[in-house]
Amino acid sequence: MSKSNFTKNLLIPDFIFIFLFSLLIIFVYDNFEKFFDRNINDGFLKATAISNKKNCRIKDKEFNCLKETLKDIGKNKSVLFFGNSQTGAINNFKIDDKDYIAHLNEEKFFKDNKLIIRSLWMPNASLKEFYVIYKELERCKIIPETLFIPVFLDDTREQSIRDYVNKLENTFCKSKEKTKKEKIIESNVKRLDQKIKTNLSLFKNLQSINTKMRTDLYKFRNYIFGIKPTSIRPIKKASYSENIDALKKILKIRIENNLTTFIYIPPLLYANDLQKIPYSKKNYASFKKEIKYLCKEHYCNFLNLEGSIPNTLWGTKTSTNFIGNNEEIDFMHFTGEGHKVFSKELSIIIKNNLKKY
C-alpha cells in the first residue's frame, strides 16, 4: 500500500469520527434542557437563593413554607408576586442583605394597613408553570386581590412543566388524612435513603458528581459553540406561543373575578444600552410591544421595569466556559442594594393602587 493511500485510509475514519461527534454535540445542544436541569446550578449561578414564609421557593416535597406563605392570602387585603430566581436570589450576597419582598413587608405603611405581601417563586419559572399554580390557588380559594406577574423573555424559552409543579394539585388544600399518609410514606423513604447513603459511600457523593458532570458539559457546550453571557438568545417560537397563551388564561380568570393584575417587564442589566443586552433588539422590542398590547386587551396593568435597577447594582457569576476569566456578567440577578431599590419602586406602585379603592 502506498503512503498516500495509507494516509487516505487514516483520514476517512477521522473524518467520520469528527462528523459524528459534531452531530452529537449539536444534538446535545438542541436537547440539553430535556436531559439536564434547565439551568446549571439550579438557575442561580453565583447568586444566593432566599426562601422563607413570605418569599417562598416552590420545591419538590417541601410544602411547609408554601402553606405558611399562602395561609393569609384570600382572607385579607393581599398582594402576591409570582417570580423566578430574580425574586428569590441575591447576587454577591452580603450579611444583612434582604430580598425586595422582605423590604416591602418591613414598610410601616403596609403594616399599618395590614396588607399581606407574599411571593411564590422558582428558578426559571415559565408562564405555563404560573398558570398551573394559579389554577390550584383558585381551586383552593386562595385568591390574592392583587397579583404581580413578571414576564421574562428568557423564560418564554421554557417549554416543559416540572414534575413537582404538576404535582401541586391537591397540595394547597388537600385532606388531613391524605397528608398523614404521605408523611408516613415520605418518612419511610427518607429512612431508606439514609441507610443507603450510610452503607454505600458512593451515593454520598452522587449528587456532587452529577452536578459537576452537568457543569462541565454545560461549559463544554458553551466552549464548542462560542456561547457567552452576551450571546444573542433566540426566541423559541413554539414555547413562546405556549407561554403567552398561558398568560392569557391567567388574565382571563382574573378579569372574570374583577381582580387587579400587574404584568411587568423585569429588570435587565444594560436595559438602557440595547447594544449590550443578550437579545435581538428587534425581537426584544416586539416582545415588549406584544405584552403591552396583551395587557391592554385583558384589562391588566402593564409596567416596564427593565431599567429600574442601575447597572452598578448587578453582580457577576462564575464562568460558564472552560476558557477566560472566572467571572462573567450576570444579566439576571442583582445585588442586595438592587433589591432595596426595586422594593422602593414597587412600593410606590402598590401604594398608588391602594389609593384607587
pLDDT at res. 50: 87
pLDDT 10s digits, 41-84: 444 556 788 889 999 999 877 778 888 899 889 877 999 999 98
Residue 34 scores a pLDDT above 50: no
**Stretch 233-244: mean pLDDT:** 82
pLDDT 10s digits, 136-171: 999 999 999 999 999 988 888 888 898 889 888 777
Question: How confident is the prediction for the chain on average, in pLDDT?
Answer: 76
Distance CA 302, CA 293 (A): 9
Query: What stretches of the chain show up as alpha helix (H) in DSSP?
Result: 3-35, 64-70, 85-88, 100-106, 108-112, 127-139, 163-166, 176-199, 201-204, 206-225, 237-256, 281-297, 336-354
Distance CA 310, CA 301 (A): 23
Across 69-83, 117-131, 219-233, 244-258, least confident range: 219-233
Residue 254 scores a pLDDT above 70: yes
pLDDT at res. 219: 44
Q: What is the pTM of this model?
A: 0.73
pLDDT at res. 79: 96
Domain coordinates of the chain in residue numbers?
1-35, 37-171+227-354
Answer with the residue of higher pLDDT: 84 or 356.
84
Max avg pLDDT among 38-42, 165-169, 284-288: 284-288
**Stretch 283-302: mean pLDDT:** 93
pLDDT at res. 221: 42
C-alpha closest to that of 348 among 300, 308, 292, 293: 308
Across 47-61, 242-256, 270-284, least confident range: 270-284
Run of H or E residues at 335 = none
At the second CATH level, the architecture of 37-171+227-354 is 3-Layer(aba) Sandwich (3.40)
pLDDT 10s digits, 163-211: 889 888 777 886 444 445 445 444 555 565 555 555 555 445 544 444 4
pLDDT 10s digits, 299-353: 999 999 999 999 999 876 544 444 455 566 777 789 999 999 999 999 999 999 8
Bridge partners, residue 121, by sequence? 57, 83
